[in-house]
Amino acid sequence: MELNSWINNSLPKIVNKLEKDIINSFHVETEEGLNITGRNAIYEVLDELLAVLFPGAYSKEKVAANELNFFLGDTLRHVSLKLKKLVKEILEYHCTYKVDCTKRDCEEKAQEICENIIESLPGIRNVILDDIGAAYEGDPAAQSLYEIVLSYPCIEAIATYRLAHLPYKLEVPIIPRIMTERAHSRTGVDIHPGAQIGPHFFIDHGTGVVIGETTTIGKNVKLYQGVTLGATSPFDKKGKAKRGEKRHPDIEDDVIIYSNATILGAIRIGKGSIIGGNTWITNPVPPGSVVYSNDKK
């Protein structure tokens, strides 16, 4: 059978079968909710927010000092409109499952969330600047702050996390995770937007680092490549996922965790501890410890 004949005779049957299956089972909406177009729009918003925080490093074009005010104002106007639209759409989609919520509620909530995020940008930038300082202090190979901002993957990963963490705390669905997973795909650093990470944070080299949703990290903490801050098991005894429970470690201030260390479960790594490379930690570590193998301090 020639291809044109096959297309005319057989293809409609396949199309009908796929349509029926898509409608009757899970699918990403083609008209409503958040689809691939919405995901790309989130990427655009993320890029514009990064450009606002660090013009020149993340902006598409150079920004002269005498043009900075215009650039920031113009970009933030566009970001505000785009972000509100995206948040409103995703809230409305999730509200279809709630009988006590109206589109007007979603409109007002999206406005509040957008204002909160934009107003928080100066504070977020200050924390990221502190992270950049930690990278410079913690890496003797670093020649300048410019080099760190322009080339270190950890800065994009951490900056993206800090931008995504606020909408996560504000209970915005999906959008924060799309942001951090974009950074994950580009840098090899996987930080869940729900993690709580203090200031002066540095990830040296970065590739393969995983930081789980309920992880907390204090100030002045340094990680190396391949570190996992994960859960012992994501499932309970009945095989159901442990959603909404504390599953990941608490890392106190001034801790250093060397490459490929794995720390699992809701345990605490005490202040000032040093965790050696390739260790496997499933029990708490007292403050000031030096650990070279599991549970030997």
User: Over the stretch 4-39, which tens digit does the pLDDT of each residue have?
Assistant: 888 888 988 988 888 888 778 766 655 555 565 688
At 86, the amino acid letter reads L
Give the separation between CA 30 and CA 32, rounded to whole angstroms.
Answer: 6
More reliable by pLDDT, 238 or 90 = 90
% of residues, the chain, pLDDT over 70: 90
Give the separation between CA 255 and CA 279, rounded to whole angstroms.
Answer: 15
pLDDT at residue 277, as a whole number: 96
pLDDT at residue 22, as a whole number: 76
Q: List where CATH 2.160.10.10 sits in the chain.
A: 195-297
Res. 297: pLDDT tops 50: no
pLDDT at residue 235, as a whole number: 72
Superfamily assignment of 29-189 in CATH?
A: serine acetyltransferase, domain 1 (1.10.3130.10)
Average pLDDT of the residues in 206-231: 97
**Beta strands per DSSP E along 166-281:** 190-191, 196-197, 202-204, 210-211, 216-217, 222-224, 228-230, 250-251, 256-257, 262-264, 268-269, 274-275, 280-281
Average pLDDT of the residues in 229-239: 81
Res. 218: pLDDT tops 90: yes
What is the model's pTM? 0.87
User: Over the stretch 242-255, which tens digit does the pLDDT of each residue have?
Assistant: 777 899 999 999 99
Query: Which two tokens mark 295?
Result: 């549970």
Fold of 195-297: UDP N-Acetylglucosamine Acyltransferase; domain 1 (2.160.10)
Question: Picking from 10-19, 29-38, 117-126, 288-297, which range would have the lowest pLDDT averaged per residue?
Answer: 29-38
Q: At what angle do helices 153-169 and 103-119 cross, to 10 degrees?
A: 140
Nearest Cα residue to 267 out of 252, 250, 243? 250
Question: Picking from 101-105, 138-142, 165-169, 266-270, which range would have the lowest pLDDT averaged per residue?
Answer: 101-105
Q: List where CATH 1.10.3130.10 sits in the chain.
A: 29-189
Q: How many CA atoms lie within 13 A of 128 on its CB side?
A: 25
Are 273 and 257 in contact by the 8 Å Cβ rule? The answer is: no
User: Over the stretch 155-200, which tens digit does the pLDDT of each residue have?
Assistant: 999 999 999 999 999 999 999 999 999 999 999 999 999 999 999 9
